[in-house]
């Protein structure tokens, strides 16, 4: 069975020393708003994606921590990548909502993780668990991104 196109590109580029950087730039250009956080895709595989957001002035809020909207952007990118890498070929998805809890200050670089674990893709609402961690592995944001999953139309 052929692997999803996004995963194929990641696996092809990942083996090079600059591959993850190149892939991160490439994927961020699919949805240009992702470029605002200068994301770095640390890992992508079926069921799992991790995106790094460096703590820089441009993503900070008025108290000097990483702004939660920047974190939401990273979580949505991780969700999008893991969804593209994992969804069965006969299905498609679109984001429908996001429910997040802000659990701690984000004072360091942030790892945004979307982990499908053993979830089974099916039509209808599909909740993708997402979590953001600081450099000390403290959870700073946790929640779900709701997708609408439907069959691809016949061509």
Which of the four pLDDT bands, split at 50, 70 and 90, describes residue 154? Answer: confident
- Distance from the first to the final alpha carbon of the chain: 20
Neighbours of 149 (CB within 10 A): 18
| Whole-number pLDDT of residue 3 | 75
| Whole-number pLDDT of residue 35 | 92
The whole-angstrom separation of Cα 33 and Cα 25 is 12
Over residues 106-128, mean pLDDT: 96
pTM for the model stands at: 0.94
The whole-angstrom separation of Cα 141 and Cα 133 is 7
Residues 61-86: pLDDT tens digits?
999 999 999 999 999 999 999 999 99
Which residues are 126's β-sheet partners?
Answer: 147
Report the percentage of the chain scoring pLDDT > 70.
99
Residue 92 has pLDDT above 70, yes or no: yes
Which of the four pLDDT bands, split at 50, 70 and 90, describes residue 54? Answer: very high
Q: Is 141 exposed, middle or buried (0-12, 13-18, 19+ CB in 10 A)?
A: buried
Helix, strand, coil share of the chain (percent; to 5): 30, 35, 30
Question: Which of left, alpha, beta for 38 (phi over 0: left; psi -120 to 50: alpha)?
Answer: left
**Maximum C-alpha span of the chain:** 52
155 or 22, which is more confident? 22
For the chain, what are the domain ranges?
5-151
Among 48, 46, 47, 42, smallest CA distance to 1 is for: 46
Residues 9-32: pLDDT tens digits?
999 998 888 999 999 999 999 888
What CATH fold (topology level) applies to the domain 5-151?
Thiol Ester Dehydrase; Chain A (3.10.129)
Which of the four pLDDT bands, split at 50, 70 and 90, describes residue 109? Answer: very high
Over residues 101-124, mean pLDDT: 96
Q: Where are the alpha helices (DSSP H) in the chain?
A: 5-14, 19-30, 68-86
Over residues 35-54, mean pLDDT: 96
């Amino acid at each position: 069975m052929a692997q999803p196109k996004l995963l194929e590109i990641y696996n092809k580029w990942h083996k090079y020393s600059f591959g993850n950087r190149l892939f991160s730039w490439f994927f961020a250009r699919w949805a240009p708003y992702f470029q605002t956080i200068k994301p770095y895709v640390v890992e992508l595989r079926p069921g799992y994606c991790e995106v790094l957001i460096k703590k820089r002035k441009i993503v900070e809020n008025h108290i000097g921590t990483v702004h939660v909207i920047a974190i939401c952007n990273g979580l949505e990118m991780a969700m999008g990548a893991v969804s593209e890498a994992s969804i069965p070929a006969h299905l498609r998805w679109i984001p429908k909502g996001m429910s997040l809890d802000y659990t701690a200050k984000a004072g360091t670089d942030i790892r945004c993780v979307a982990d499908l674990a053993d979830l089974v893709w099916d039509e209808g609402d599909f909740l993708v668990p997402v979590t953001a961690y600081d450099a000390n592995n403290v959870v700073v944001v946790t929640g779900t991104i709701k997708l609408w999953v439907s069959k691809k139309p016949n061509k």
